[in-house]
Amino acid sequence: MTHYKVLFLSLTLLLASFQAFGHEGCTHGQQERTPEILDIDEDFSFSRDADGGRMLSSTSYPQMRIHANYDNLNSAPSSYKAYIQNELAPAVIAYFEGALRVKYPVSGNLVVPTVQTQLCGLNTPQILMGQGVAADYFIFFQSQMAQGQGWIADSYVCFMASGTNRPLISTTNFNRALLVDPEGDVLVHEKNTYLLIHEMTHTFGFTASMFPYFIDEYGNQRKGHIKTATLNGQQATVIDVPPLTNNLRAFFGCSTLAGAYLESSGSSGTAGSLQQKTVLV
């Protein structure tokens, strides 16, 4: 994955768009978590672009390698695991691998220290403590049946890379009561696809627990990019990073736009972690 400035322009728009395709109500089931740091080797050999470090202008960085683990779907019906593992997740992963590049990739394979016996509250796969996997980003998929609850999926970042603070290991937990096996229904599959893109976008860093760790194009931790703005007499949280804010100002024709306004209602995982769908002025 690249620095966050690359992700903001595309991924925040994805979050805003895909809300319209989700189920009614809150999609997130639990509280924001504070990610931990995992000491790994990252490749810092790629030089900055001539224009001062903009990464959207470069195609020289390698595409992001994503490795998914499906072991924790074993408690689900076999048809459900097969759907997630063979149909839903691979297409979404291929989309992100084609769309995102990594300025500072993992050097060689992603390997976890043997003392790290658990990741995201789950047993660490043996391969991660051995030869590792050829990946810059690792995600666990798991599921549970939560009848009568309003959440569809719970996604969060568990570990950040030590050198860049970028999301490294994450998890997405599906509620099988609401994200169902489409059994050939293309419209249900389409809705599930949008939902998983939305969820993985959160695990790439667009979530309240990750905002404080954003870095600039030179690798320095950002300051002052989480702001409070007043609109229509009400205060709102705003994310202000130059690539996103500049493009929003150009799109809306408003040179004084403070940045991207974040959702102000809903539970933790919703409020402050999604873009506000509608802002009346």
Q: Residue 7: which pLDDT band, with cuts at 50, 70 and 90?
A: very low
Q: Domain boundaries in the chain?
A: 4-213
Whether pLDDT at 47 is above 80: no
Cβ neighbours of residue 235 closer than 8 Å, sequence gap 6 or more: 228, 229
State how far the alpha carbon of 212 is from the alpha carbons of 198, 206, 217, 220, 240, in Å: 21, 11, 15, 12, 12
What would the mean pLDDT of 102-116 be, rounded to a whole number?
Answer: 93
Q: Residue 50: which pLDDT band, with cuts at 50, 70 and 90?
A: very low
Whether pLDDT at 113 is above 90: yes
Kindly report, residue by residue over 243-253, the tens digit of the pLDDT: 889 998 999 89
Structure tokens at 95: 């989309």
Whether pLDDT at 58 is above 70: no
pLDDT of residue 1: 39
pLDDT of residue 32: 63
Whether pLDDT at 202 is above 70: yes
Q: What is the CATH number of domain 4-213?
A: 3.10.170.20
Structure tokens at 39: 């000491």
Per the prediction, the chain carries an average pLDDT of 82
**Higher pLDDT, residue 13 or 231:** 231
- List the 66-69 sheet strands across, edge first: 36-38, 153-161, 167-175, 137-144, 66-69
pLDDT of residue 118: 96
- Locate the DSSP E strands across the chain: 36-38, 66-69, 118-119, 122-123, 137-144, 153-161, 167-175, 226-231, 234-239, 260-261
Q: Residue 183: which pLDDT band, with cuts at 50, 70 and 90?
A: very high
**Higher pLDDT, residue 57 or 6:** 57
Instruction: Say how far apart CA 243 and CA 227 lie, in whole Å.
Output: 16
Q: How many residues does the chain have?
A: 281
Lowest mean pLDDT of 53-62, 204-213, 250-259, name the range.
53-62
**Higher pLDDT, residue 254 or 58:** 254
Structure tokens at 122: 């789950």
pTM: 0.81
State how far the alpha carbon of 51 is from the alpha carbons of 72, 110, 167, 174, in Å: 45, 31, 26, 42
- Locate the DSSP E strands across 113-215: 118-119, 122-123, 137-144, 153-161, 167-175
Contact 205, 7 (CB under 8 A): yes
Whether pLDDT at 51 is above 80: no
Whether pLDDT at 5 is above 50: no
Whether pLDDT at 17 is above 60: no
Q: Which among 7, 31, 36 has a CA at the least distance from the CA of 120?
A: 36
Q: Residue 214: which pLDDT band, with cuts at 50, 70 and 90?
A: confident
Contact 96, 64 (CB under 8 A): yes
Structure tokens at 2: 């690249």
Instruction: Say how far apart CA 210 and CA 223 lie, in whole Å.
Output: 13
What would the mean pLDDT of 42-67 be, rounded to a whole number?
Answer: 69
Instruction: Say how far apart CA 127 and CA 137 lie, in whole Å.
Output: 15
